Structure 1
Amino acid sequence: MRRLFRTALLVTALAAVALPATASASATVGVSDQQASTFTNPLFAPLKMKVARYIAPYDVATAGTEKANFEAWLKAAKAAHQTILISFEHSRDAGQYSKAPSVATYTKALKAFKKKYGSKFDVTPWNEVNVCQAKGRQEGQPSKICKSSTGAKLVAQYYSAALKVFKGRKVTAIDILDGSNVGGSVSYLRKFKKYVKGHPKYWGLHNYSDTNRGSYSRTSRLIKTIGDKKAQVWLTETGGQLRLRGVYAGGSEATAETKAATALKCMFSMPKRYKQITRLYVYQFNGAPASNDFDAGLINIDNTTRKGYAVVQKRQSATCHA
C-alpha cells in the first residue's frame, strides 16, 4: 500500500494521470459517501469525480438528527464543484426511523428542504427501497416500504411528489438493490411500474451482488424489467466490498482488497455492456474501521490507498467473470 504524502510530486503525478484506452468513458463517475472530509482529502481530486451522492433523512431540514453532518457535507461538495444527488430515506430521529411517512408528510418535508437548501440537486425519492431494517437497527427501510406488497405504491407516490417539488430536476424513479437472488427485486420493480405515473427518465440501481460476484445477470434482469430503452440507468451505489456483515471477502484483509479491486473493474465494464448506464456512484471513498460490519472504501482510515483506488483513478475496466 502506498502512503499519502510521500512527496508532493506523487500527488501531482496522480492528478495528471490520463485515462487509459481501456477506461469506461461512457458514464460519469462519482462518489457516494457521507463524510465532508472526502472532498478536502488530497487523494480525492486525482479521481476526477464529477457527481456526489448523499443519503439524507427525508426530514433533515426540520429534524435535529443529521442536519449538521449534512450541511457540512453539502458545503464541501459544492466547493468541490460536484453535481449533487440527494437520496432521501427514513428519519433518523428516535422513534421515527422505522416509520414510513404519509405522502402529505413526505411532501411537506421536501418543500421544507427546498426552501432551506434550494433546488439545484438531482433527487432520489427513497434510498434502497427493498432492503428491510433489522430489529433495533436503522440500516435499511421501514417494513411498509421494503415489502413490495405495501411499498411499491407508496414509493411511486413519493416519486410523483418529488417530481412536483423538484420540478425540472433529474429525479430517479426508484433506487433498488439487486440482491444475491434478484427475483425479489424484479418482483418489486414490476409492482412499482404498475403504480408509477408517466415514463420515468431515470432509474437507480445498486448492483453490489453483480460486481462483487463478477456477474452481469442481475443488472441485466433489472434493466430488462425497466424496459424503457430511452431511460437512463444510474448505478447509484456500486463498487467493491472488502467486508460485508463483518466478514472479509476471501477470508482476509489482503485478499479482500484484491477482490474489491476486481469488482471495481467489473463495475467499469457495465456501461460498455449496457449503454443505458450513464452514471456510476462508487460507494465509498473512505474506508471503515475494522469494527464496522461493512467496508467498501477506496482508502484506509490512515489515508493509505487501496488497490481499488488506482482502478477508479485510471477507470480500469475488465469483463466480469462469475
Structure 2
Amino acid sequence: MPGRNVSRPSALARALAVPAVLAVLAAAGCGGDGTGGAGTTTTAPAPSAPRTTTATTPAPASRLIVGMGDQNASTFANPAFLALGIRHARLVVSYDAMSVGFERQLVDQWMAAVTKAGIAPFVAFGHSRVHPARLPSIGAYSAAVAAFRRRYPRVRTFAAWNEVNNQSQPTQRAPERAAAYFDALRAQCPGCTLVAGDVLDQAGFVGYLRRYRAALRSRPQIWGLHDYSDTNRFRTTGTRAFLRAVPGEVWLTETGGVAKFGRSFPLDLQRQARALRYAFTLADSSPRITRMYLYNWLGAGPADRFDAGLVEADGTTQRPAYRALARVLRRR
C-alpha cells in the first residue's frame, strides 16, 4: 500500500466543504428528465451488476482525464494520493471568496498545495458564505470573480456556478441568471476553459438546462454534470438525458461512490467500491465524456451522515474504493 496520512481536514476546510451528493440522493425521483427514478428508501438499493445493454459502446479508455474534487490542501501532499498519478483537481469556492478572510486563507493554502504538486486547478464558483441566499447582480458577480482571477492568475479552468439547479444555490429557480454568470465570465476571460451548466442529476434538470441554454448569449463548448444518482444507483438514466440535452463535450465534474448517506445508504464500503467502478463505466459510455472529477479523498467520522471518502478518516488506505481506483487507473 502507498504511504498514509494521519492529518485530519482543517476546521476551515470542513466548514467550506460542499458534499454535493446530499440533495440528489435524498430527493425522490432524482435523475433523468424529472419523469421518474428511484426515491429515498430506508435501506440501500440492491446494487446489481451493471448491464452492458443499458449503456452505449465504451469509448477508448485513454481519452478520459481523471481528476479529484477535494477542499483540503493536505490531500495534494498525501503520498497515497500522489501515487495515483492524478494531475487535475477541482475546488468549489464562494463567488465572493476574496472578500471573506477565512475563505481566502483556505484558497491560498489549496492553491499552494496543488501548485507544489504540479496539479492543474479547476475552480467552480458558488453561493456566498456570508449571504448564501443572495443572488448577486451581474456586476457584483463579475467584480468578485475578477478579484479572484487577479489573485490566482494560474487558474484558467472554471465553472461559472456550481450546481446551479441545487436547492442550496440561489440559482435554483433562476436559470437565466445562471446563464448570465457564464456569459459574464466568458466576457472577462475569453481564453479560459469554461464549463457550462454544472448541474446535479436530480429531477427536473433537463427543463432547467433548456431555459439555461435559451438564455445564453455565448456557445459553450463544455458542459458539466454531477452524476451521483446514476453512479450510486447503477443506472444510466440521468447521464443519457444530459447527453441528449446539451451539445459538445461533457465533463463529470463531481462523481464517485458513496460509502454512506443517512438511512438511504447505510455504510457499505464494498458497495462504494462497486459504485466507483461504475462511475468509470458511465464515463466510458460516450466519447463525448472526456473528463471526470471524483469526490472526495478523506472519509468521515462514525457520527457523520455523509461519507464518500476514498480513504479512512485517519488517512489510512484500507478502503476497497481506494484499491479499486488504483487498479482502474493502472489499467488506463
Checking the alignment, whether the CA contact within 8 Å between 1:130 and 1:176 is kept in structure 2 is yes
Task: Give distance in 1, aligned partners of 2:151 and 2:272.
Answer: 38
Q: CA deviation at 1:41?
A: 1.0
**TM-score of the superposed pair, with normalisation by structure 1:** 0.81
CA distance in 2, matches of 1:82, 1:129: 26
Structure 2 residues without counterparts, runs of 5 or longer: 5-58
Deviations 1:230-265 (A, max 9, x none): x21110000001122x3372x3x3xx2111111111
Alignment partner, residue 269 of structure 1: 281
Is 1:118 matched with 2:153? yes
For 1:119 and 1:194, how far apart are their aligned partners in 2? 32
The equivalent residue for 2:222 is 202
Give CA deviations for 1:21-77 in whole Å, capped at 9, x if unaligned. x99332100100000000111111111112100000101112224111111011101
Counterpart amino acid of residue 122 in structure 2: L
Q: Which residue of 2 aligns with 1:101?
A: 136
Whether 1:165 and 2:193 are equivalent positions in the alignment is: no
> Are residue 211 (structure 1) and residue 231 (structure 2) matched?
yes
Q: Which amino acid aligns with 1:81?
A: G
Note the alpha carbon deviations across 1:150-200, whole angstroms, 9 max, x for none: x11001100001112222010011110002x4xx01110111111112321
Question: Alpha carbons of 1:34 and 1:314: their partners in 2 closer, same or farther (altered >3 Å)?
Answer: same
Percent identical pairs in the alignment equals 34
- For the 8 Å contact 2:122–2:155, the answer to whether it is kept is no
User: Shift of the alpha carbon at 1:272?
Assistant: 2.2
* Equivalent residue, structure 1, for 2:68: 31
Residues in 1 aligned to 2:111 and 2:181: alpha-carbon distance in whole angstroms: 23
Aligned to 2:263: 247
Which residue does 1:146 correspond to in 2? Answer: 172
Give distance in 1, aligned partners of 2:68 and 2:143.
28
Q: 1:79 aligns with which of 116, 121, 125?
A: 116
Cα displacement (A) at 1:113: 1.0
1:273 is paired with a residue of what secondary structure? coil
Aligned to 1:55: 92
Superposition TM-score, scaled by structure 2 size: 0.79
Q: Which runs of 5+ in 1 are unaligned?
A: 6-21, 133-139, 318-322
Question: Is this contact kept in 2: 1:83–1:121, CA < 8 A?
Answer: no
Task: Return the letter of the residue paired with 2:83.
Answer: P
Q: What is the aligned-residue RMSD (CA, Å)?
A: 2.1
Q: Report the count of equivalent residues.
A: 276
Query: Which residue matches 2:209?
Result: 189
The answer as to whether partners of 1:288 and 1:295 remain within 8 angstroms in 2 is yes
Q: Give the counterpart letter for 1:146 in structure 2.
A: Q
- RCO comparison, higher one (Cα < 8 Å, 6+): 2
